[in-house]
Amino acid sequence: MAPRKKKEQPVNKKPDINAYIAGAGLVVEQPITDTLETNYMPYAMSVIVSRAIPEIDGFKPSHRKLLYTMYNMGLLSGSTIKSANIVGRTMQLNPHGDAAIYETMVRLSEGYQALLHPYVASKGSFGKAYSRDMAYAASRYTEAKLAPIANELFEDINKDTVDFVDNYDATMKEPVLFPVTFPSVLVNANTGIAVGMASSICPFNLREVCETTIAYIKDNDINVADTLLAPDFPIGGQLLYNRKEMEDIYESGRGSFKVKGVYSYDKSQNCIDITEIPPTTTTEAIIEKVIELVKAKKITEINDIRDETDLGGLKITIDLKRGVDPDKFMKKMFKSTPLEDSFACNFNILIAGSPKVMGVKEIISEWVAFREECVRRRVYFKLSKAKDKMHLLRGLEKILLDIDKAIKIVRETDEEAQVVPNLMIGFGIDKIQAEYVAEIKLRHLNREYILKRTADIEELEKEIAEMEAILKSRSRILKIIVGELENVIKKYGMDRKTQIISAEAEEDYKEEEVVDDSPVTFFFTKDGYFKKITPQSLRMSGEQKLKEGDEITQTVEASNAYDLLFFSNKQQVYKSKATEFADSKASILGDYVPSKLEFEEAENAVFMASTTDYSGYMIFIFDNGRISKVPLSSYMTKNNRKKLIAAYCGKFTLHSIFQIKEDVDICLKSTNGRILLVNTGAIPAKTTRDNTGIAVMTQKKGQRLLSAELYNKGNMENEHRYRTRNLPAAGSKPSEKTAEQIKMDL
């Protein structure tokens, strides 16, 4: 017997990666337009249509899936259940994760206070819309159910009023829209950011919205602003109302308006309690801004600020210093903190799957058309049910003619399957009617039962006629909608929470500004360092600390109310306010102006001017003996610009800069040894900042100004020798005594 051959073992070969990944390593060129169309556009449309933009019923898909799940769980009545249970069930419709679903529930809850009319009744800690740090508890700790107003979303949902579609795995149905009985899209705030577009719908008072819709149904040419006064926010606040601006928003669906907080003054405690804030900010943001302004010395009227929000509601308390006027202080607060903020409107809504920015009247028109269709479908649904019931009762009515015959037919029929056909033949009824008669219990085969069931035929005929008439008449459908809106007003209407105040009056109110005019001393050095020191600190200070080689060139006694102008070596001036610089000490270098005011590269500060009223002049003296005189008012700007170019002439080399309140004498000394005294009154002022000025002291080739100083009368002998009636002038040689004095001064 031949020996068995040993089976050869397979050789392990290294797998070919390219065999598994087709086209690996290949670079395929594709036009960017094709990439956008095939890859990006489907994503963008998905975000727009299925995520971020609300539809005419006022809901995004995430809202609708959550609320419909709660409805199916029977949460319109009964007690609350754990939020985690609701979130888990909602994932049958919304596969985006439990965190996103729970956040949606939080925003719809009454505990969060983001909606005028919350759809979710909550129990437990759901956070607050007006607080960044008050976080909501985990879903396992909180409970929820549907709020009573949710009845207006689901009352007709099982009457074929809206279309249903499969959920993501086709295991159950969900509604495309809610058949809501009032324009909820305008009642509760809704914001969303899609791809290339966004939506921001402010909330309006439910009563005003319903009354406006009723007025529109009765007369399409109404002015919406007559009944829909202004937006209404759940936190309250005060809305600065301008009729024209509001009408523009109502017309175009875009625009903005301002909302400010509400405060009260407690005289006994000398403190201000802020109880309402704009919807665009939080208590933490306000407090942080106030602290920032206090550190910058822009707010000096307060001793303390704290958040006293508790179960009673929002409350920010500010302790004032003694003697502070609370109303004037709050003017400053509204101007410089988020206590007054703008709300931007963008009424972008999906209509038939397409985003559209609409005005309020157009939104109401679209909602009325949507609600008309819902009512029409509901009436048709009821009509179909009524006709089916009538059909059965007509068959039952025929049985009334001979009950014994019906019993005999059933009893004498040999096979069960033949009962219905025999009843059809015996009484001339159809299969549906015969099935209904055959299913009647034996105890009901009596005249009394049949008479009771058929007694409603006449009433049912009237109902059918009524419903058919409604379907043929649009005015009757609109009348039903009006009745539903009036019922909503009666059940859920409430007074406005946001006060309406005149924007014109508020503008005058804001013009007054509280100015800190506490005394300070300014120090400016040759190298561009600036210090602002209070008198108390100055009295306790020792020698001024300076950078090596630096020296103080200007010392000005002023106040925090001063404006500061820093002239640079590049013919530019940078404007600031004294309050923008923190109080300094003699023991530190101070603020380096080019860094503080963001100078350009290689740009240095060469002179500091300070003023409160921009009176007086700036004097610019150049090496060639020319002098330019510019009114300080030329540097005043209405829009608080921080930087002005062409602050002085750049054609000549700058020698000195002076700031004067009135005309003074200036002593000019040239390298040729001559001296000239000139009064600035002889130099014409020019409002053009970079004017070349006039020639004052003539200089020959190779000569230039040696010094320029403000001159006090009597400092030199025979000072008339150095004055001249005509300009320009060469000046005069000093006497030996004067020359000796000059050498000593140098």
DSSP for 183-242, please give it.
-HHHHS-EEEE-SS-EEEE--B-HHHHHHHHHHHHH-TT--GGGT--SB--TT--EEEE-
Whole-angstrom Cα distance, residue 149 to residue 347? 24
Helix (H, G, I), strand (E, B) or coil at 635: helix
What gap in Å lies between CA 386 and CA 397, rounded to an integer?
16
| Residues ≥6 apart with Cβ < 8 Å to 326 | 265, 272, 320
3-state secondary structure 512-555: CCCCCCCEEEEEEECCCEEEEECHHHHHCCCCCCCCCCCCEEEE
Output the six-digit token pair for 320.
């004032």
In sequence order, which residues have a C-beta less than 8 Å from that of residue 622 and are 6 or more positions away? 628, 649, 652, 653, 654, 655, 693, 705
Asked if the bond preceding 728 is cis, omega within 30° of 0, the reply is yes
Structure tokens at 691: 């004017």
Residue indicated by tokens 């002005």: 644
Contact 501, 340 (CB under 8 A): no
Q: Reduced to 3 states, what is the DSSP secondary structure of residue 279?
A: coil
- What is the chain's alpha carbon radius of gyration, rounded to the nearest angstrom? 43
> How far, in Å, CA of 174 to CA of 89, rounded?
13
The catalytic residue among 40, 43, 141, 168 is 141
In whole angstroms, give the CA distance from residue 618 to residue 629.
6
Contacts for 265 with CB less than 8 Å, ≥ 6 apart: 271, 272, 273, 326, 327
Query: What residues does 609 pair with on adjacent strands?
Result: 565
The answer to whether residues 107 and 132 touch, using CB atoms and an 8 Å cutoff, is no
Nearest alpha carbon to residue 728 among 618, 652, 622: 622
User: Which pair of structure tokens corresponds to residue 498?
Assistant: 């946001």
The CA-to-CA distance between both ends of the chain, in Å, stands at: 130
Say how far apart CA 619 and CA 691 lie, in whole Å.
Answer: 12
Annotated active-site residue 711? The verdict is no
Q: Could you give the CA distance from residue 464 to residue 385 in angstroms, rounded to a whole number?
A: 10
Tokens at 2, concatenated: 């031949």
CA distances in angstroms from 263 to 216, 276, 327, 410, 453, listed in the order given: 37, 7, 10, 83, 67
- d(CA 646, CA 666) in angstroms, rounded, equals 24
H helices within 313-446, ranges in order?
326-336, 360-400, 403-412, 419-427, 431-438
Contact between residue 687 and residue 630 where contact means Cβ atoms under 8 Å apart: yes
| Residue 475 to residue 679: CA distance in whole angstroms | 90
554 closest CA partner among 670, 429, 656? 656
| Residue in 332, 345, 64 with CA at minimum distance from that of residue 179 | 64
Catalytic residue numbers read 141
